[in-house]
DNA sequence: CCAATCGACTGATATTAATCAGGCGTTACC
DNA sequence: GGTAACGCCTGATTAATATCAGTCGATTGG
């Protein structure tokens, strides 16, 4: 339901008015002066504001001034309430940007119709519906999480059906690469996009000291190596196979053609990348202020959701490089988790998260 | 320039008023009754309508009724003009959805400030989505660094020249926001893109413990707040002003239209985002394995390149939150750098990098 | 004008996680 | 079949950095 913020210093009028509004079915928040009103507006985000003009601490004009300046508040319909019926007072209020002006005393119907009038007006003025024709919120569901690009597979099927990019066809030869092989290295010029048919691939960056940070982990059905292609720069990371894999190569030109041919694709890529930026910034935040234990837990949970069957099969070194910690520290933390029955480890070293809820919630 | 439609049956008042408006720089179309007014509104698409109430053929209420029903007309600011000063007349007009109500006789300043008031109000509130036409894709400078979006400015100029997205025009009102104000907060639904005209803005994320990590720093000429718009999600960061700033709002719909109208633009955005992903991953690598000293040095160098004049004017708290370390640690490191003559600090706390080469090379 | 607040800074201490060193079991290989 | 190599793990030590507690000076507000 609509939330209305009522700012009025007179206790009787305020309570009376609030009661009327509540009877009419609105959720009402009240404030007894302008300052409190603004504070409440910022926290409650009302759908409409009714504000008296003459008030102590901060008057109605001041409140509206602040509303106009604060981007979070500007869009909210604003109705002045005043005992003054003089034309100049009215004009001052309107010129400041009020949307209606009610004079006291008013009766119920005046109040309610004024509110309805403004709500209707603003709904007309501010079209709610997503411009879906413009912004494809597509059937390409981003189910694989922002890190993966499974929707591209779907897209490629479509592209194939249209038949204008034959080189994308699945008849393409699969390339077999054995484990622990570099697919491309930092500094290489990108020549193609990779589609992972089977196996696992990690992408990593390394620093001057030879330490590695794993930036991505790819499973069958994922594409990788697109960052440098999109950025039109050299690879800034390396891709390494974790086990024996089957790859399909999509030549750079084909990919770029694809990208330009259909606006929906570029829109999808924009979405994908924006999501990835957000994810990385989140990680950065965690890296800065979360304890090692917390970061291990977060990474395990992320993998738990991504990995098939929820079983994490990854060497301790790689896992540590994903989290950005020393391998020993990871192992110690895993042991602790195991003791707490939060995870289980098999003889082969694979990890299974047993109590994701508890792992998520426990705060150190 | 803004086009105003004036609907008024009295010849003298109509011509007189039109003259005033023209002198004020508006393009004015007139109509001598409601019927003609509506017809003219449909063909001319005015930016604002001033309409008398008592008129032959079709009165003002009727005109507004039609405006409310016709989607093409609903978004236009509508001001009533009337000789009636009775409260009930005023309320009837407002309840019908008028945006202001001027009583005759009025003087020039009343008229003009009422018009300005509504135009400003509507720029805050609404984007009226114009049907997009595709314009020739211009050549965009690719030199702008990945962190900034200055090329968008160039693009917007082009868009303006073609003139089909008027709402992007520089005539847009600047919004002033004082320092330390939130422009948007984590979790807010994005409603617009922000263009920073003057001042400085930071974007930050905060974790459960209330700690903040500064993810971006924006200078005049930058755009910000686009991540959530592109991702089609809620804001995952907050934007806060560091000093008094001037902002220009670009409504969500306008921006999205813009983005899809021209493949060159989406291509630019893809590049921008891909670059930002790379940057963030680089930061992540540094965060994991570089010493605090190294990270401070890197951040200083980054800011040295970005900030105008190379002078870094930033509170210690914000700088620490950018690097992701404790404020005290930062201050200690800065003191060390100062002792080593790598940087200089003014009394006001601003930092200047003196020997970028040495700062870059020294390896700890 | 004084008190309160804030930002820059310093010293002492506590905590965390990296590093070093090594054990133990399994696999790979001559 | 022996041994070298490797992956997983543990203990002790050490280095790095956060935290706590406060000073000092400048600015702000009543």
Helix (H) or strand (E) holding B359, with range, is helix B356-361
Pairing between β-strand B223-224 and β-strand B175-177 as defined by DSSP bridges: unpaired
Question: What pLDDT shows up at residue B145?
Answer: 35
% pLDDT > 90, chain B: 50
Higher pLDDT, A222 or A93: A93
pLDDT per residue as tens digits for the range A67-77:
888 888 888 99
Q: How far apart are CA B38 and CA B90, in angstroms?
A: 22
What pLDDT shows up at residue A147?
37
Q: What is the mean pLDDT of residues A179-193?
A: 90
CA distances (Å), origin A190, targets A146, A154, A237, B271: 22, 24, 11, 15
Q: What is the DSSP letter of B139?
A: P
b/e map B264-291, b = 16+ CB within 10 Å: bbbbbbbbbbbbbbbbbbbbbbbbbbbe
Q: With 0-12 CB in 10 A as exposed, 13-18 as middle and 19+ as buried, what is A2?
A: middle
Least confident of A4-13, A52-61, B25-34, B157-166: B157-166
Nucleic acid strand C within 7 Å of A319 CB:
no
pLDDT of residue B147: 34
Evaluate if residue A224 carries a pLDDT over 60. Answer: yes
Given a cut of 70, whether residue B207 has pLDDT beyond it is yes
Q: Which residues 87-126 of chain A have a CB within 8 Å of chain B? A: 87, 91, 94-97, 99-101, 103, 110, 113-114, 116-117, 120-122, 124-126
pLDDT over 60 (residue A352)? yes
pLDDT at A160 over 80: no
* Confidence bin at B363 (pLDDT 50/70/90): low
Hey, how many other C-beta atoms are within 10 angstroms of the C-beta on A110? 17
Query: Is B181 an 8 Å CB contact of chain A?
Result: yes
Model confidence pLDDT, tens digit, residues B248-285: 888 888 788 778 777 777 887 888 899 999 999 999 99
Between the two ends of chain A, the Cα-to-Cα distance in Å is: 39
Q: Residue A113 pLDDT > 60, yes or no?
A: yes
Cα dist from A329 to A292, B101, B116, whole Å: 8, 71, 64
Exposure string (b/e) for B313-345, b if CB count within 10 Å is 16 or more? bbeeebbbbbbbbeeeebeebbeebeeeebbee
Name the residue facing A263 among B85, B120, B263 (closest C-beta).
B263
Which residues in chain B touch residue A99, judged by CB atoms under 8 angstroms apart? 99, 121
Confidence of residue A164 (pLDDT cuts 50, 70, 90): very low
Query: What pLDDT, in 10s, does the model give residues B219-247?
Result: 888 889 999 999 889 999 999 999 889 88
Average pLDDT, chain A: 84
Q: Which nucleotide is nearest to A338 (CA to C1')?
A: D9
Residue with the larger pLDDT of the pair A183 and B208? A183
C-alpha to C-alpha distance for B99 and B93, rounded to whole angstroms: 9
Is residue A124's pLDDT more than 80?
Answer: no
pLDDT digit string, tens, across residues B145-165:
333 445 555 555 555 444 344
Angle at A225 between CA A223 and CA A228, to 5 degrees: 140
Nearest by CB: B274 against A75, A273, A288: A273
- Using a 7 A cutoff on CB, list residues near strand D: A 315-317, 327-328, 331-332, 334-335, 345, 349; B 291-293, 325-326, 328-329
Q: List all residues 6 or more positions away from B164 whose beta carbon is below 8 Å from its beta carbon.
A: B130, B132, B133, B135
Region label for B25, one of left (φ > 0), alpha (ψ between -120 and 50) or beta (otherwise): left
Per-residue pLDDT at B151: 53
* pLDDT tens readout for residues B105-145: 888 889 999 999 998 888 777 543 433 332 223 333 333 33
- The per-residue pLDDT of chain B, averaged, comes to 83
A71 touches chain B (CB under 8 A): yes
Task: List the A293 CA – D28 C1' distance (angstroms).
Answer: 43
Task: Give strand letter and number of the nucleotide nearest B329 (CA to C1').
Answer: D17
Question: What is d(CA A116, CA B138) in angstroms, rounded to the nearest whole number?
Answer: 46
Torsion A302-A307-A310-A312 (CA) sign: negative
Q: List the Cα angle B298/B301/B306 in 5-degree steps.
A: 125
Contact B273 A271 (CB under 8 A): no
For residue A177, the model assigns a pLDDT of 87
Answer yes or no: is pLDDT of A308 > 50.
yes
Nearest C-alpha neighbor of B13 from the set B55, B73, B58, B61: B55
Residue B2 is predicted with a pLDDT of: 86
Contact between chains at B284 and A70 (C-beta distance less than 8 A): no
Strand order from edge to edge, sheet including B351-353: B311-312, B351-353, B343-345
d(CA B333, CA B325): 11
Q: How many helices (H) and strands (E) does chain B have?
A: 14, 16
- B279 half-sphere exposure, CB direction, 13 A CA radius: 20
Residues of chain A neighbouring B208 (CB-CB closer than 8 A): 363
* Confidence band for A299, pLDDT divided at 50, 70 and 90: very high
| pLDDT, greater one: B169 or A233 | A233
The residue-averaged pLDDT of A62-66 equals 91
- pLDDT bin (cut points 50, 70, 90) of residue A156 is low
Q: Could you tell me which residues are beta bridge partners of residue A329?
A: none
What percentage of chain A carries pLDDT values higher than 90? 48
Cβ of A273 and B277 within 8 Å?
yes
At A188 the pLDDT is: 92
SS3 A246: strand
Closest chain A C-alpha to B230 CA, distance in angstroms = 6
- Say whether pLDDT at A141 is over 70: no
Residue range B18-27: average pLDDT?
92
Q: Tokens 């993998």 label which residue?
A: A303
Position A236 pLDDT exceeds 70: yes
E strand or H helix at A297, and its extent?
A: helix A292-306
């Amino acid at each position: 339901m609509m939330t209305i913020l009522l700012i009025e210093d007179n206790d009787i009028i305020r309570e009376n008015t609030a009661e009327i509004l509540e009877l009419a079915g609105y959720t009402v928040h009240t404030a007894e002066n302008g300052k409190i009103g603004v504070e409440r507006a910022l926290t409650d985000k009302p759908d409409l504001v009714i504000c008296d003009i003459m008030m102590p601490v901060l008057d109605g004009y001041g409140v509206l001034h602040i509303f106009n300046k604060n981007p979070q508040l500007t869009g909210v319909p604003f109705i002045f309430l005043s005992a003054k019926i003089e034309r100049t007072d009215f004009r001052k209020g309107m010129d400041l940007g009020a949307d209606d002006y009610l004079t006291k005393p008013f009766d119920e119907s005046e109040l309610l119709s004024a509110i309805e009038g403004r709500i209707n007006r603003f709904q007309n003025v501010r079209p709610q519906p997503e411009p879906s024709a413009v912004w494809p919120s597509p059937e390409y569901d981003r189910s694989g999480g922002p890190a993966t690009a499974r929707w591209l597979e779907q897209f490629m099927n479509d592209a194939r059906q249209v038949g204008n990019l034959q080189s994308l066809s699945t008849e393409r030869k699969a390339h077999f690469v054995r484990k622990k092989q570099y697919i491309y290295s930092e500094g290489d010029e990108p020549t193609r996009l990779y589609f992972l048919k089977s196996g696992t691939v990690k992408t990593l960056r390394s620093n001057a000291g030879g330490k590695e940070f794993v930036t991505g982990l790819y499973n069958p059905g994922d594409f990788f190596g697109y960052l440098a292609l999109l950025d039109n720069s050299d690879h800034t990371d390396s891709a390494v196979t974790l086990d024996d894999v089957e790859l399909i190569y999509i030549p750079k030109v084909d990919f770029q053609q694809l990208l330009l041919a259909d606006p929906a694709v570029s829109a999808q890529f924009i979405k994908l990348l924006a999501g990835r930026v957000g994810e990385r910034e989140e990680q950065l935040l965690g890296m800065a202020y979360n304890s090692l234990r917390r970061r291990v837990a977060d990474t395990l949970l992320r993998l738990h959701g991504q990995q098939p069957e929820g079983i994490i099969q990854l060497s301790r070194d790689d896992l540590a490089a994903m989290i950005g910690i020393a391998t020993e520290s990871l192992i110690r933390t895993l042991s602790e988790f195991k003791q707490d029955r939060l995870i289980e480890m098999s003889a082969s070293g694979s990890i299974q998260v047993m109590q994701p809820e508890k792992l998520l919630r426990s705060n150190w």
